[in-house]
């Protein structure tokens, strides 16, 4: 949908109450130059205000506290359903809501993805964590209407060198992506840094599942690829908020979905997968991590 053209003295589209010329006009003019050059640029709805980013930041603090709570209790012998209860209880204690619960029919408050599960693992009393397992715990929080999203990998006891290395490389991939997030570059610049680091370390990055915008809704535009080339995908603009969450496989990047539950994604070759996730906001000179 084409956005309404504003005159200089019109109220700014962001709701600040300021005149357009005193608020977002210069930003829009710079974005327009990239659009005229053929680049994909964000619509106004994808650019958060300072107040909205404050709200997402507060949600992110709770999200991090929930993951800290999991980190303090996760152990061999516990079920992934127990992780779900930890997340539910801590989130509610912080006067927040777990975003996954009921989202498009998802039955639990958190995703727990173990070993060869790439993402969207459903917690269960039957899934018991064992020595050597690696597990991604993906927490998403709604607080006062604002959404945040982050995940961490946990190694249960002592694991194999392959799995330990994969967990480390996956975190380094995320960090390589974060380092490329700054205004007037492209999501493809971030993706290329992620993909190059994975390949350099003999790993692969899942293409079909990526990150997403977040903040006012659980999943917003844009789709965030981690295999796109440099100089492609959406222009990064101050105020954009999205997740960096590459799914890094020890073997092939090919995946398959659990036909029974319709949610859990596995590696096609049965080799392990790892993922770390943060929510970031693009700032005037780089980015800020809002949930970790």
Task: Report the range of poorest mean pLDDT among 3-17, 44-58, 137-151, 174-188.
Answer: 3-17
Q: Give the model confidence (pLDDT) of 203-224 as tens digits.
A: 999 999 999 999 999 999 999 9
| H helix intervals, the chain | 25-36, 50-73, 80-93, 161-179, 187-200
Let me know how many helices (H) and strands (E) the chain has, helices first. Answer: 5, 15
* 3-state helix vs strand vs coil in the chain, percent to 5: 30, 25, 45
Name the token pair of 173.
């991939």
Options 3.20.20.140, 2.40.50.140, 3.90.230.10, 1.10.357.10; which CATH number does 43-291 get? Answer: 3.90.230.10
| Domain residue ranges in the chain | 43-291
Taking a C-beta distance cutoff of 8 angstroms, is the pair 30, 55 a contact?
Answer: no
Q: In whole numbers, what is the pLDDT of the chain averaged over residues?
A: 97
pLDDT-based confidence at residue 163 (cuts at 50, 70, 90) = very high
Position 4 scores a pLDDT of 74
Model pLDDT, residue 102:
98
Alpha-carbon span 179 to 168, nearest angstrom: 17
| CA distance linking residue 233 with residue 39, whole number of Å | 8
Q: Is residue 5 predicted with pLDDT exceeding 90?
A: no
Tell me which residue of 56, 28, 53, 55 sits closest to 42, measured CA to CA: 28
Q: Does 222 sit behind a cis peptide bond, omega within 30 degrees of 0 on the bond before it?
A: yes
| pLDDT of residue 69 exceeding 80 | yes
pLDDT (mean) for 120-126: 98
User: Residues 256-271: pLDDT tens digits?
Assistant: 999 999 999 999 999 9
- pLDDT at position 2, please? 59
What is the separation of C-alpha 197 from the centre of its chain, rounded to a whole number of angstroms?
18
Please state, for a pLDDT cut of 70, what percent of the chain lies above it: 99
């Amino acid at each position: 949908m084409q956005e309404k053209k504003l005159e200089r003295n019109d109220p700014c589209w962001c709701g600040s109450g300021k005149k357009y010329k005193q608020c977002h006009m210069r930003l829009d003019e710079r974005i327009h130059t990239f659009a005229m050059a053929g680049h994909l640029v964000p619509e106004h709805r994808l650019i958060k205000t300072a107040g909205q980013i404050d709200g997402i930041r507060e949600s992110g603090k709770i999200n991090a506290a929930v993951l800290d709570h999991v980190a303090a209790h996760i152990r061999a012998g516990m079920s992934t359903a127990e992780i779900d209860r930890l997340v539910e209880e801590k989130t509610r204690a912080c006067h927040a809501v777990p975003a996954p619960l009921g989202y498009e029919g998802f039955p639990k408050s958190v995703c727990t993805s173990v070993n060869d599960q790439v993402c969207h693992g459903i917690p269960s009393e039957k899934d018991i964590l064992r020595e050597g397992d690696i597990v991604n715990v993906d927490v998403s929080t709604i607080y006062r209407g604002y959404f945040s999203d982050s995940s961490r990998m946990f190694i249960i006891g002592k694991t194999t060198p392959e799995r330990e290395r994969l967990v480390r490389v996956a975190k380094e991939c995320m960090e390589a992506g974060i380092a490329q997030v700054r205004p007037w570059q492209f999501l493809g610049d971030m993706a290329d840094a992620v993909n190059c680091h994975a390949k350099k370390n003999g790993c692969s990055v899942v293409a079909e599942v990526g990150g997403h915008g977040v903040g006012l809704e659980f999943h917003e535009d844009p789709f965030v690829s981690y295999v796109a080339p440099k100089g492609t995908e959406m222009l990064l603009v101050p105020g954009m908020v999205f997740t960096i969450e590459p799914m890094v496989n020890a073997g092939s990047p090919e995946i398959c979905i659990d036909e029974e539950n319709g949610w859990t994604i596995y590696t096609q070759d049965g080799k392990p997968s790892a993922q770390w996730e943060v929510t970031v906001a693009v700032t005037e000179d780089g980015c800020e991590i809002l949930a970790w």
